[in-house]
Amino acid sequence: MHGLKRERGILFVISGPSGVGKNSVLTQLLKEVPGLCYSVSATTRPPRTGEVDGVNYFFMSKEEFLRKVGTGDFLEHEEYVGNLYGTPRGYVEEKLGEGYDIAMDIECRGAAQIKRMMPEAVLIFLTPPSIEDLKARLLGRSTDSPEVIEKRIRKAEVEMGEMYKYDYYVVNDELELAIEDIKKIMWAERLKVARLAKPSVTK
Ligand code: 5GP
């Protein structure tokens, strides 16, 4: 035992255009990386088939969401293709304070807000090998209506340009390789000296 302890957990923000595979990557990371928790967001979007309240999202009405905005319950919140999404503040602060690392899947403006508030957060952009590849994935998954898919494709084209504001990029061509890349980023960030708690006695 080396006795070195980190001051706080690390916040890993993962963004990327709709359909790039953030869910699959995160599901696997949570199984494989010890000490990593997931921040479940709140949303006013209706659940998709198979989505579970409290697991995928906290699903709520617009009224409830706006009430929580008013009481400062969100670390950040944004509108995305007609729905509201927000990161519950309490869970994130509690887990980071306990030394757990947190992964969250949020869009680019929310990620930029987090980075302004917490410069030590690590922003990872998951990108498809090409926009054509992304379109094919979105059309293939058919969990949304054609109009929503069209909106998400247009949004994705804008989002791809946001990558340059991130700390790291990971290409999701093959899922396993993308996961390995993110694990390496997490490991390196965990070993940063700047994140260590200062020793209480110095010579
Ligand atoms: P979806 O409807 O496909 O689940 O998510 C749509 C977008 O909302 C995705 O880009 C996702 O990353 C983003 N998102 C999910 N939760 C949050 C959140 O709490 N805050 C922000 N800013 N974006 C979120």
The residue among 19, 23, 22, 26 whose CA lies nearest residue 137 is: 19
User: What's the pLDDT at 150?
Assistant: 85
Sign of CA dihedral 160, 163, 169, 175: negative
Q: Who contacts 193 (Cβ-Cβ below 8 Å, separation ≥6)?
A: none
Ligand 1 centre from 1 Cα, in Å?
39
The pLDDT value given to residue 69: 98
- Nearest 5°: phi and psi at 55? -105, -60
Q: Which domains does the chain have, with CATH numbers?
A: 11-39+100-195 (3.40.50.300)
Which residue numbers in the chain have pLDDT < 50? none
pLDDT tens figures, 150-174: 888 888 888 999 999 999 999 999 9
The residue nearest atom 15 of ligand 1, judged by CA position, is 106
18 lines ligand 1 (CB under 6 A): yes
Q: What is the pLDDT of residue 183?
A: 98
Query: Which pair of structure tokens corresponds to residue 104?
Result: 């969250």
Q: Please tell me the distance from the alpha carbon of residue 76 to that of residue 109, in angstroms, as a whole number.
A: 9
Q: Name which residue sits closest to atom 5 of ligand 1, judged by CA.
A: 18
Q: Are 156 and 130 contacting, i.e. CB atoms less than 8 angstroms apart?
A: no
Q: To which H or E segment does residue 137 belong?
A: helix 131-141
What predicted TM-score, i.e. pTM, was given to this entire model?
0.92
- One-character DSSP codes across 51-106: --BTTTEEE--HHHHHHHHHTT-EEEEEEETTEEEEEEHHHHHHHHHTT-EEEEE-
CA distance 114 to 87: 10
Whole-number pLDDT of residue 203: 53
CA gap 125, 84 in Å, rounded: 21
